[in-house]
């Protein structure tokens, strides 16, 4: 599957730059010690905007949930239908979630609860994006 390209914007540039270096970073509020994803301009818990830093994760998680997409609005993905679209819970904090197409996992045969590891996949314009795979 070739995903649409990504044009990093000011808010998300550190996330995308790290992805190109094959590192998964997410926002952390150093004032209240809380991880946050998707990125935002301020901490959703304490409201602080000045204490947000980017923290590297270990890049492991579990499959929290999934659906199978059969009809999709994105032109460039239509030839890949149907495909898995899962939600991954980050190992460090299960409240932090990521989308994944679960490359290598058969369609609708998704082991909910299984451990996954982050991998990095090039999108249409070369920008890498974090993806998740069941190891082995």
Partner 1 sequence: MTTTTPNAPDSMYRSREGMGVWEHRGKVAAVGIGHSPTARRWDGRPETSVGANSIIALRQAIADAGVPPDQVDGIVLVPVTTTGAYWPSDTPVPQDVVNAFNPTDDPLDGIGQLSAEWLLKNMPELTNVKFTMNAPGCMSAAITVAAQAVGDGLTSTCLVLKGWHNLEGRYNHGGISAADAVPGTFAISPGRTLWGAPGCYGTALQFAEYCRKYGKHHDMMAPFMQNSRRNGLLFPEGYWAQHRPEQLLPEDYLTSRWIAKPANLFDNDIPIMASAAYLFTTADRAQDMAQKPVYILGHASSRGTARSITPTLEEIQAETGSTGRKIYESAGITADDLSFENMYDGFAQFHQFHIEGLGYRGMKFGDALDFYQTDISIEGPNPILPSGGNIGSGRSRFWMHTDCIQQIQGRAGARALTGVKPEIGVSGGPMPMGGNFTVWSATPN
Instruction: Give the contact letters, 43-82, x = binds to partner 1 (CB under 8 A), - = no.
Output: -x-------------------xxxxxxxxxxxxxx----x
- The contacts of residue 87 (CB under 8 Å, 6+ apart) are 63, 64, 65, 66, 97, 98, 99, 100
Which member of 32, 46, 114, 124 binds partner 1 (CB under 8 A)?
A: 124
Minimal distance, residue 11 CB to partner 1, in Å: 6
Report which secondary-structure segment, H or E, holds 43: none
Residue closer to partner 1 by CB (options 30, 65) is 65
Binding segment for Zn ion (CB under 5 A), chosen from 32-40, 77-85, 102-110, 126-134, is: 32-40
Burial class (CB in 10 A: 0-12, 13-18, 19+), 92: middle
CA distance 28 to 56: 10
Residue closer to Zn ion by CB (options 38, 135) is 38
Binding partner selected for residue 31 from Zn ion, partner 1, none, CB under the kind-specific 5 to 8 Å limit: Zn ion
CA distance 126 to 98: 20
C-alpha of 57 from chain center? 12
Residues 9-38 that bind partner 1 (CB under 8 A): 9, 11-13, 15-16, 37-38
Measured at the alpha carbon of residue 76, what is the angle toward residues 25 and 84, in degrees to the nearest 5? 60
List residues near partner 1 by CB under 8 A.
3-9, 11-13, 15-16, 37-39, 44, 64-77, 82-83, 85, 87, 95-99, 101, 108, 112, 123-125, 127, 129
């Amino acid at each position: 599957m070739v995903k649409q390209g990504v044009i990093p914007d000011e808010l998300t540039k550190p996330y995308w730059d790290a992805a190109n270096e094959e590192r998964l970073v997410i926002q952390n509020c150093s004032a209240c010690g809380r991880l946050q994803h998707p990125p935002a301009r301020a901490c959703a818990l304490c409201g602080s905007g000045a204490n947000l830093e980017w923290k590297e994760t270990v890049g492991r998680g579990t499959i929290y949930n999934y659906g199978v997409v059969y009809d999709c609005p994105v032109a460039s993905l239509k030839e890949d239908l149907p495909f898995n679209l899962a939600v991954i819970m980050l190992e460090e904090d299960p409240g932090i979630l990521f989308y994944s197409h679960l490359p290598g996992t058969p369609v609708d045969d998704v082991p909910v609860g299984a451990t996954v590891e982050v991998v990095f996949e090039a999108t249409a314009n070369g920008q890498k994006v974090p993806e998740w795979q069941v190891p082995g």
